[in-house]
Structure 1
Amino acid sequence: MITTLKRIVDEFNRQTVLEKGLHRVAELVKQTMQTECCSIYLADDESRHYLLMASDGLSPRAVGSVVINYDQGLVGLVGQKEEPVNIANARQHPRFLVTPQVLEESYNSFLGAPIIHQRKVLGIISVQQSDAEMYDQNSVAFLVTLAAQLGGAIAHVEAREAIDRVERNNVRSRALKGVAGSGGIAIGTAFIIQPKISFSSILPRRTHNIGREIVRFKQAVKVTQQELSVLSGKMNQILPSDTSAIFDVYHHMLNDNLLGEKVHAQIHNGWNAATSLKIVIEEICAEFEQMEDPYIRERMTDIRDIGQRVLTNIVQKELDKRPLPKNLILIAEEVTASMLAELPREKLKGICSIKGSNNSHAAILAKALGIPAVMGLEDLPLNHLDGRATVLDGYSGQVFFNPDAIVTKEYQALLAEEKELDLLVQSIAKDAAKTKDNIPVSLNINTGLAVDFEVARGIKADGIGLYRTEIPFMIRSCFPSELEQMELYQRALDAYPNKPICMRTLDVGGDKPLPYFPIKEDNPFLGWRGIRMVLDHPEILLVQVRAMLRANMGRGNLQILLPMITSIDEVIECLRLIEQAHTELSEEYDQVISYPKVGVMLEVPVAMYQIGLLSELVDFFSVGTNDLTQYLLAVDRNNSRVANLYDYYHPGVLEALQYIAEQCEKYAMPVSICGEMASEPVGLLLLLGMGYRNFSMSAQSLLKAKWVLKHTSVEQVQNLKFQTKSLSSPEQVRQLVEVLLEQNQLGGFIRAGK
């Protein structure tokens, strides 16, 4: 069954047009299940009906014209129940819908399964036959499994075709929905960064310049032949001639006129060079796959390899020549720190990522840079977007590609209002942070990028609440030396002289890999990360702590923060290593070296139940709401499939944060919030109501937080902690606080516009 299912889905993905792909699926399902009819209907939410898109067994004239309302017929019943419906005599069922134009009078039995993707019914696949008997359980299992696999593939193609329809037919734009990663609006041009070019990543694209595409293909073949000649020469020196003869086979394939003729034919059909090569290679491989001879089937690998080489030379040349748009919206499968570092900050206006959630590392970097971001766009047709006009709404998580004139005009007006709001909050840049009823609040910045200090210049902050030391590690090709680290830390300590600078020890792993120190794990967020890694490699921690202590000489404002603490023993061992580094430096410099305050991050849930014991060892706590939420909810915050479940406004998460505040008060321990929750107005007011008074956030968020605090009294938020106890969902919590923000005329901080 697995092989058959894979073949059907591969056939669908191989087709260049949705209708053709669905028709091919209907043909293969009918053939595989040995039934008399297979039909596929797709949902139209605006019209609330299913449209017959493909059928092998019903009247061809019905395809593309017959619609069934959501509350009608057996097809509608499958959609309503969201489960398979298996009926022996469909014509006797009360929900049977007589539709003369489909010509289904000869069919009695009916089996339908919903095609669901991300909890949404995209369509229905059904089979029918004349025998009045139910389909057996193997048939049901097959159809349900196929429908589940088709869901993602259809969503991907529909997203692509929705973009094309706007371009071709001048229809209204449809937004693709992701997760709001960083607030703000961006209007610009999509710029794709893709780590690997493959046939699966190539989406069908048309061309009107046939001559140019033929030249592109021929040039790519020529470059590939030159590369193979070089490789063949190298291999002949180290391998027997019969082994390296594979390169002769490759040369023969490229010189074969048949391959070139087939690609040229597809280009003449209106497809560009990359799409044409994809069609031809996949057709050849499909033919080879049907061969019984195992040797011939194995040649599929050679065909794919040579095709991949030509494809890379077609696409890469175009990618290398691309100019950077003036207003660039970066789009990638997964946005990394190195990508952001390579792009000019003045051109980067927005970020779009297939992977990630609102608190993945990419989203945190976007907030630090003040760049609007949308994460978790799982169905994004990546290779279909480069160079397209784009509107990104970092508040709602919506992205428009090829936006129509109305959408563009609306967002241009909202962007103008955003700029007005930014100018407004700038007016209090040098004011101390306090509430409307004059309660002082400590606002610090989260940092790790050099640009953060530029952003924060002129903004009154109470220090650095979280210096992410891992970012300089992540954008290098090897571990930075003690001297390099010392110089970086000196700049941070000098940015806010006489104010506390809290430096977190190296926290890599999870969604923060080091390219030169790869960590491959099945569950990286539950694995070797944070303090666990550096305690296994004390040489890394000792060098880092020495660099921190040396940077602090003559300054005295360093604090050290330990991440991912799960046990008392880990803290004791860290303190021993800090003491060792301190003693070494005291002897080397023959002087008194100031000893920094040491704190622990409360982010692993078990640590919050050890606050009493930990308070005897350390000087302060810092709550990492990003990871604490992830572990409390058992949600990988980088997984786009479950990104909608990651929410620190979950009432259970709020209970945990309230407990931490109460325990810290009980043991008279200073505590701050350094996670992203405090950078959002809703989160800030909830935390303020719980009793937290020390917050750390991106420099970009600090001014807005200062404005929100200035226009909100503690009295207004104190009851929130009691009101949220009776709520059952994050949405209800959010709505509760948003009403208060709107009442205080602060709605512009949670949505687009003023």
Structure 2
Amino acid sequence: MLSTLRRIVLEFGQEDELQQALQRMVSQVKRAMQTDCCSIYLADYHYQHFLLMASDGLAKDSLGQTCIGFSEGLVGLVGQREEPLNIANAQEHHDYIHAPEVQEDDLNAFLGTPIIHQRKVLGILTIQQKQARHFSENEEAFLVTLSAQLASAIANAEVKQLLSSQQETSNRVTQLQGIAGAPGIAMSSIVLCQPQADISTVALKKSADTVKQHQRIELAIEKTRKDFQQLSDKLSLFIKDDSLAIFDVYLQLLAQTGLVQEIKEKITLGWRAGSALKLVVEHYIVQFEAIEDSYLKERASDIRDLGNRVLLNLRQQEQETLHLPDNFILLAQDVTASMLAEYQHKGLQGIISLSGSNNSHAAILARSLNIPAIMGVNLVAIEQLHQQFAIIDGYSGELYIHPDEVLRREYQHLLNQEQALTEKVMQVANKPCITPDGRAVELQLNAGLSEGVEHSSKLGALGIGLYRTEIPFMNRSCFPSEHEQTKLYKDVLSAFPKHAVTMRTLDVGGDKSLPYFPIQEDNPFLGWRGIRITLDHPEIFLVQVRAMMRANQRLGNLEIMLPMVSSVEEVDEAIRLINQAYFELKAELKADILEQLIADEKAELKAEKIAQQLVRPKIGIMLEVPSVIFQLEDLAKRVDFFSVGSNDLTQYLLAVDRNNSQVSNLYDAFHPAVLRALNNIAQESARLLVPISLCGELASAPSGALLLLAMGFDKLSMNAHNVPRIKWIIRHVQFSQAQAILAHVLTLSTVKQVHDYLNEQLEQLGLGGFIRAGF
């Protein structure tokens, strides 16, 4: 039955038209389960009813016509209960409603199961039989499993249908929902960036120019043949066993008249080259996966790989002619930091990423660059969005394709209000960050994601609370030398000569990897990352801290911060290495000076005096692993300051991968457990007389900054764009008011209660414009 499930789901995705896909699917289910009828109803939330979309067994005239209210009949009951309903004689059930137009009077047995995607009922799948009986547990399990697998495919199919109909009727707006990744609004044309080729993401499209499509596929196949031959020849110099036989298989498949001929036949029928490739390749995948023999079944992955490689060469033909407009919104399956770095100065107005969440590093970088972003948009056939005009709302996560004039005017008005708000907050940029009743807090920068921009002190930041040293390590082909690092760090330290600059030691692992230092792990966020890597490689750690201290000579504003600390032993070992680097560097500096002053009678004294300019920096740790919350007293004896990394602390406290869009709704720094943990940390740090700061995204949120202020955090670190905004808020709220808000928040038990209350309080304080577009 597993192969039947796979075949039904895969073939559903191959149909270009949603209606045809649904009709084909119900017929397949009816045959597989040997029932008298199979039907599917799709939810229409605008009209609050389920619409009969496809059926094999009910009257054809009723398709697209029969509607059942969300609270009506057995179909409505399945939707309300959100679980299967198995009834031996449906017509005797008290919720049964008679619909003569569907002609189901002779059908008695009923089994219905909801199709749910991301907690939303998309539709109802039903099977019916003339014989009055309960369907078996196996039959029920099959239908539930099929519904679960179809949910995502149907969600994507509905979006594709919306986009297709929008293209046909150009005045229709399509609205899609994602996750608000970075605040702001962007209105521009979409540019699609596809660094990876995945046959499953291809949108089925047709083309009238079959000659051109034939030429494209022939060029792509020939290029793929050459690629495989070159790979095989190159690897044969090192590999002498049968491992290279796979390349022979690929070459044979490309040479086969059958496979290539079928693709060309699809093109002749009007399909674009990529669509024809998808149809044929996925047809072969279905056939191989249905074979019982395990060896032959595995050949499905070979066919998929082959298809992806041909698709890659097809796309490279298109990329050669891709021209960026003056202004555009970037769309990709997974928007990366390197993409943002490449496009940020080329007219980039906003980003749409199909993967990731509001706290993935792409979203954090977008916020740092003040670029509106939407993450986790549920869409497979992204090719349909290329060159479409769109509006992205980074406050709500809403994406509008082909917006009408009314919508454009509305969002243009919000953009104007945003600009006015920015001009307003800049009036306090260089004023002290202090509440009207005299409570002060330092605002610092999170820096390192982009070069130069974040180091400016013009926005009123007092130093850098987090400098991410790993970014320069990423944009290279090998580890940077001590000299290169020293020069870079000196530029950063010199930007704030009168204020502290906190540099985090190399923090890679998790979702941050180095191309020349790959780390392969099953669970990277709980694996080899942060201080764990640098302690295992002291040669990397020592070079970096020496470079930091060299750069700090004569400046004296460096503070070193250790990431991903989970034990006292790690801190002891890191401090030992830092002390080692400090004394070695001091001795080296003194020796160099002595050599220069060899003829001077007071050389020793002068060398010692100059060497004193090399200051041992303050050392702090990041509180982001929950274990350290319970070791603060021990750690306070060893370090000079604490800094909370609220992004990772939230991730680990809630056991939620912050990059995973599937569980992004569970990740929230305003979770009561996170807020109580932060409050406890602040209180304990005050008792131990250890300075405490926070450098996570929570500090950039208006309500988050007020809560942290009330908790007693000494410093808040954030991206440059938010410094004047947060300063404005703090200068307009009494510390006593912030304390009262915190006291009530700490009594709340759900995330929704926290957000509702905080939004209400900001509105009452006249600060609602800081949590939404406009004010």
Q: TM-score, normalised by structure 2?
A: 0.92
**1:595 pairs with 2:635:** no
Query: 5 Å matches for 1:50-199?
Result: 50-170=50-170, 172-199=172-199
For 1:648, what is the secondary structure of its paired residue? Answer: coil
Cα 1:610–1:36 change in 2 (3 A) is same
Cα 1:153–1:720 change in 2 (3 A) is same
Q: Structure 1 CA distance, aligned partners of 2:296 and 2:536?
A: 50
**1:727 pairs with 2:745:** no
Q: Structure 2 CA distance, aligned partners of 1:394 and 1:444?
A: 24
Q: Structure 1 CA distance, aligned partners of 2:160 and 2:435?
A: 48
Deviates more, 1:217-226 or 1:198-207: 217-226
**1:383 pairs with 2:404:** no
For 1:484, what is the secondary structure of its paired residue? Answer: helix
Cα 1:171–1:76 change in 2 (3 A) is farther
Q: Deviations over 1:356-380 (max 9, x none)?
A: 2222211211111111112222445
Amino acid at match of 1:723: H
Unmatched tracts of structure 1, length 5 or more: none
Deviates more, 1:649-658 or 1:218-227: 218-227
Q: Deviations over 1:66-95 (max 9, x none)?
A: 111111111111000000000000011111
Cα 1:649–1:251 change in 2 (3 A) is closer
Cα 1:492–1:91 change in 2 (3 A) is same
Q: Structure 2 CA distance, aligned partners of 1:340 and 1:88?
A: 58
Amino acid at match of 2:632: I
Q: Deviations over 1:305-338 (max 9, x none)?
A: 5544432222221023211232232222322222
Unmatched tracts of structure 2, length 5 or more: 591-610
For 1:191, what is the secondary structure of its paired residue? Answer: strand
Check conservation: 1:84, 1:111, Cα contact below 8 A: yes
Cα 1:254–1:693 change in 2 (3 A) is closer
Match of 1:353 in 2: 353
**1:739 pairs with 2:757:** no
Q: Structure 2 CA distance, aligned partners of 1:290 and 1:691?
A: 63
Match of 2:728 among 707, 714, 722: 707
Q: Structure 1 CA distance, aligned partners of 2:342 and 2:308?
A: 27
Amino acid at match of 1:178: G
Check conservation: 2:445, 2:454, Cα contact below 8 A: no
Query: 5 Å matches for 1:483-632?
Result: 483-590=483-590, 591-592=611-612, 593-632=614-653
Q: Structure 1 CA distance, aligned partners of 2:523 and 2:234?
A: 40
Q: Deviations over 1:642-668 (max 9, x none)?
A: 101111111221111111111111111
Q: Deviations over 1:170-218 (max 9, x none)?
A: 4542432222121111112222333321211212123344443333233
Q: Structure 2 CA distance, aligned partners of 1:733 and 1:601?
A: 26
Check conservation: 1:500, 1:558, Cα contact below 8 A: yes
Match of 1:418 in 2: 418
For 2:418, what is the secondary structure of its paired residue? Answer: helix
**1:657 pairs with 2:683:** no
1:749, distance to aligned residue in structure 2 (A) = 1.5
**1:468 pairs with 2:458:** no
Check conservation: 1:170, 1:404, Cα contact below 8 A: no
For 2:132, what is the secondary structure of its paired residue? Answer: coil
Match of 2:364 in 1: 364
For 2:668, what is the secondary structure of its paired residue? Answer: coil
For 1:465, what is the secondary structure of its paired residue? Answer: strand
Match of 2:660 among 631, 639, 646: 639
Check conservation: 2:447, 2:454, Cα contact below 8 A: no
Query: 5 Å matches for 1:691-706?
Result: 691-706=712-727
Cα 1:154–1:596 change in 2 (3 A) is same
Deviates more, 1:431-440 or 1:15-24: 431-440
Match of 1:282 in 2: 282
Match of 1:16 in 2: 16
**1:342 pairs with 2:337:** no
Cα 1:288–1:189 change in 2 (3 A) is same
Match of 1:217 in 2: 217
Q: Structure 1 CA distance, aligned partners of 2:763 and 2:565?
A: 39
Cα 1:311–1:358 change in 2 (3 A) is closer
Cα 1:562–1:248 change in 2 (3 A) is closer
Cα 1:87–1:382 change in 2 (3 A) is same
For 2:547, what is the secondary structure of its paired residue? Answer: helix
Cα 1:344–1:554 change in 2 (3 A) is same
What RMSD in Å do the two structures reach over aligned CA positions? 2.6
Cα 1:240–1:105 change in 2 (3 A) is same
For 1:155, what is the secondary structure of its paired residue? Answer: helix
Check conservation: 1:88, 1:133, Cα contact below 8 A: yes
Deviates more, 1:721-730 or 1:454-463: 454-463
1:301, distance to aligned residue in structure 2 (A) = 6.3
Amino acid at match of 1:176: L
Cα 1:35–1:229 change in 2 (3 A) is same
For 1:451, what is the secondary structure of its paired residue? Answer: coil
Q: Deviations over 1:2-31 (max 9, x none)?
A: 222222211112222222222222122112
Query: 5 Å matches for 1:657-696?
Result: 657-696=678-717
Cα 1:457–1:619 change in 2 (3 A) is closer
Q: Percent identity?
A: 49
Check conservation: 2:48, 2:69, Cα contact below 8 A: yes
Cα 1:191–1:465 change in 2 (3 A) is same
For 2:349, what is the secondary structure of its paired residue? Answer: strand
Q: Structure 2 CA distance, aligned partners of 1:362 and 1:243?
A: 38
Q: Deviations over 1:500-559 (max 9, x none)?
A: 000111111122122222222222211211111211112221111111111111110000
Match of 1:2 in 2: 2
Q: Structure 2 CA distance, aligned partners of 1:543 and 1:307?
A: 46
Amino acid at match of 1:649: F
Q: Structure 1 CA distance, aligned partners of 2:664 and 2:303?
A: 38
Cα 1:273–1:439 change in 2 (3 A) is same
Q: Structure 2 CA distance, aligned partners of 1:47 and 1:545?
A: 63
1:248, distance to aligned residue in structure 2 (A) = 7.8
Q: Structure 1 CA distance, aligned partners of 2:74 and 2:94?
A: 9
**1:206 pairs with 2:206:** yes
Deviates more, 1:467-476 or 1:160-169: 160-169
Cα 1:206–1:437 change in 2 (3 A) is farther
Deviates more, 1:492-501 or 1:652-661: 652-661
1:119, distance to aligned residue in structure 2 (A) = 0.6
Match of 2:604 in 1: none
Q: Structure 1 CA distance, aligned partners of 2:713 and 2:131?
A: 70
Amino acid at match of 1:133: R
1:299, distance to aligned residue in structure 2 (A) = 6.9
Check conservation: 2:329, 2:348, Cα contact below 8 A: yes
Q: Deviations over 1:437-480 (max 9, x none)?
A: 34322111000134353573522221001111111122222222
Aligned residues: 754
Amino acid at match of 1:425: V
